[in-house]
């Protein structure tokens, strides 16, 4: 059908799908775990070979009594860790300091270890607060609804999660470990 979105770049092979954050596939290594202060979701950083899977696990009761569980996954090269902190700093610079034009909502796509990534501003990243999404245009979302439909993989983090709850510091720490070859 003509209305399906087409990828701009070659699509990489999918990494193994992680169905539950407490049941990682063989060879996968949990690098870090934290909790989103907005919804209470568990966020995991998982190394799968030379790649990083970011998991967001939600476990709660719907209507107070119906168990609900979802584990979403977005995959990136491990180089996303040092790249993100630097790219976010550039994204947030005012135009007068060499940043993007006023009102910009997305950065240019950048090649990070062979995958095309960008940062997008999110106006509602959790309980009415803004945030930022890391978008991987080289990988199609695991949860495709129709065959041959393409949606880039992405994960969104609220500003207060990044800056007040320490997520950006955690990402910077993992990025430094990656640069030193410790991951």
Alpha helices in 23-166 (DSSP H): 80-92, 159
Reduced to 3 DSSP states, what percent helix, strand and coil does the chain have, rounded to the nearest 5?
A: 20, 40, 40
Dihedral sign (CA 127, 37, 91, 73): negative
Specify the DSSP element, H or E, that contains 125: strand 115-126
Residue-wise pLDDT for 34-79, tens only, equals 999 988 899 999 999 999 999 999 988 777 788 888 999 999 999 9
Alpha-helix residue ranges (DSSP H) falling in the chain: 80-92, 159, 167-179
Residue 159 CB burial class (10 angstroms; 0-12, 13-18, ≥19): middle
Give residue 144's pLDDT. Answer: 58
Residue 166 is encoded by which pair of tokens?
């320490």
Note whether 125 and 156 are within 8 A (CB): yes
Inter-residue contact 154 to 136 (CB < 8 Å)? yes
User: What are the boundaries of each domain within the chain?
Assistant: 29-179
pLDDT tens string, the chain, 183 residues long: the values are 455 677 888 989 999 999 999 999 999 999 999 999 988 899 999 999 999 999 999 988 777 788 888 999 999 999 999 999 999 988 887 777 766 666 668 788 999 999 999 999 988 877 778 899 999 999 988 775 556 677 899 999 999 999 999 999 999 999 999 999 998
Q: 3-26: b or e for each residue (b if 16 or more CB lie within 10 Å)?
A: eeeeeeeeebeebeebeebeebee
- CATH code for 29-179? 3.30.2450
* Residue 1: closest CA among 180, 145, 163: 145
Residue among 51, 174, 53 nearest 113 (CA) = 51
């Amino acid at each position: 059908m003509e209305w399906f979105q087409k990828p701009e770049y070659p699509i990489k092979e999918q990494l193994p799908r992680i169905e539950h954050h407490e049941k990682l596939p063989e060879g996968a290594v949990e690098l870090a775990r934290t909790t989103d202060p907005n919804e209470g979701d568990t966020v995991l950083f998982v190394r799968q070979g030379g790649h990083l899977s970011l998991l967001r696990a939600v476990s709660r009761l719907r209507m107070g009594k119906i168990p609900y569980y979802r584990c979403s996954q977005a995959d990136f090269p491990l180089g996303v860790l040092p790249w993100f902190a630097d790219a976010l700093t550039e994204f947030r610079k005012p135009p007068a300091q060499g940043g993007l034009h006023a009102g910009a909502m997305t950065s240019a796509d950048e090649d990070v270890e062979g995958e095309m990534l960008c940062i997008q501003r999110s106006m509602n990243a959790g309980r009415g607060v803004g945030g930022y999404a890391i978008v991987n245009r080289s990988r199609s979302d695991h949860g495709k609804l129709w065959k041959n439909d393409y949606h880039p993989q992405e994960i969104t983090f609220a500003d207060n999660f990044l800056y007040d709850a320490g997520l950006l510091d955690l990402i910077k720490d993992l990025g430094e470990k990656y640069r030193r070859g410790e991951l």
